[in-house]
Amino acid sequence: PHRKVTKICCIGAGYVGGPTCAVIALKNTHIIVTIVDVNPTRIAAWNSDSLPIYEPGLDAVVKECRGRNLFFSTDVDKGILEADLIFVSVNTPTKTQGVGAGYAADLGYVEAATRRVAEVATGDKIVVEKSTVPCRTAQSMRVILEANSRPGIHFDILSNPEFLAEGTAISDLMCPDRVLIGSLDTPAGRSAAASLADVYAGWVPRNQIITMNLWSSELSKLAANAMLAQRISSINALSAICEATGADIDEVSYACGLDSRIGPKFLKASVGFGGSCFQKDILNLVYLSESLHLPEVAAYWKQVVEFNEHQKKRFLHRIITCLFNTLTAKKITLLGFAFKADTGDTRESPAITLAKYLRAERAHITIYDPQVTEDQIWLDLSEPGVVDDIESLKKQVTICNNKYEACEGADAVVVCTEWKEFKMQKDPADTRGMDWTRVYEKMKKPAFVFDGRLILDVHRMEEIGFQLESIGRPGKGFRRSKDWE
Ligand code: UDX
Ligand code: UDX
Ligand code: ADP
Could you give the angle at which helices 374-381 and 389-396 cross, rounded to 10 degrees?
120
pLDDT of residue 226: 97
Cβ count near 362 (within 10 Å): 12
User: What is the distance in A from the centroid of ligand 2 to the CA of 165?
Assistant: 6
Q: Which of 160, 176, 157 is nearest to 27 (CA)?
A: 176
So what's the ipTM on this one? Answer: 0.94
Distance CA(481)–CA(485), nearest Å, equals 10
Global confidence as pTM:
0.94
243 φ/ψ sector (left φ>0, alpha ψ -120 to 50, else beta): alpha
Q: Is the distance from CB of 397 to CB of 367 less than 8 angstroms?
A: yes
* Cβ atoms 243, 252 nearer than 8 A: no
Residue whose CB lies within 8 A of the most ligand 3 atoms, among 37, 43, 51, 343, for a mutation test: 37
Task: Return the best residue to mutate from 55, 91, 166 for the ligand 2 pocket (most ligand atoms within 8 A of CB).
Answer: 166
Q: Determine the atom of ligand 3 nearest the C-alpha atom of 12.
A: 12
DSSP string, 111-163: HHHHHHHHHH--S-EEEEE-S---TTHHHHHHHHHHHHSPTT--EEEEE----
User: Measured in angstroms, how far is the CA atom of residue 298 from the centroid of ligand 3?
Assistant: 29
Q: Distance between CA 440 and CA 417 in Å, rounded?
A: 19
**pLDDT (0 to 100) of residue 485:** 44
On the 0-12 / 13-18 / 19+ scale of CB atoms within 10 A, 445 is exposed
Q: Give, in order, the Cα–Cα distances in Å from 125 to each of 24, 77, 118, 212.
A: 18, 14, 10, 20
pLDDT value at residue 384 = 75
CA separation for the pair 364, 333 (Å, rounded): 8
Ligand nearest the Cα of residue 259 is: 1
pLDDT at residue number 104: 87
How many Å lie between the centroid of ligand 1 and the Cα of residue 178? 27
Amino acid of residue 213 = N
- What percent of the residues of the chain are helix, what percent strand, and what percent coil, each to the nearest 5? 45, 15, 40
pLDDT at position 144 is 94
Q: What is the pLDDT along the chain (485 residues), one digit of tens a residue?
A: 899 999 999 999 999 999 999 999 999 999 999 999 999 999 999 999 999 998 999 999 999 999 999 999 999 999 999 999 999 999 998 888 999 898 888 999 999 999 999 999 999 999 999 988 888 899 999 999 999 989 999 999 999 999 999 999 999 999 999 999 999 999 999 999 999 999 999 999 999 999 999 999 999 999 999 999 999 999 999 999 999 999 999 999 999 999 999 999 999 999 999 999 999 999 999 999 999 999 999 999 999 999 999 999 999 999 999 999 999 999 999 999 999 999 999 999 999 999 999 999 999 999 999 999 999 999 999 977 766 678 889 999 999 999 999 999 999 999 999 999 999 998 888 889 999 999 999 999 999 999 999 999 999 999 999 999 999 999 876 666 655 44
Calpha distance 365→338 (Å, rounded): 16
Measure 410 CA to ligand 3 centroid, in angstroms. Answer: 40
The CA distances from residue 218 to 134, 166, 311, 453, 471, in Å, are 7, 20, 29, 32, 35
Hey, which of 16, 47, 77, 91 would you mutate to test ligand 3's pocket, going by the most ligand atoms within 8 Å of its Cβ?
91
Within 6 A (CB) of ligand 2 lie 162-166, 225, 228, 232, 266-268, 270, 273-275, 277-278, 339-340
Residues labelled as active-site residues? 162, 221, 277
Q: DSSP class of residue 98?
A: S
- Which ligand approaches the C-alpha of residue 132 most closely? 3
Distance 382 CA to ligand 3 centre (A): 23
179 close to 209: Cβ distance less than 8 angstroms: yes
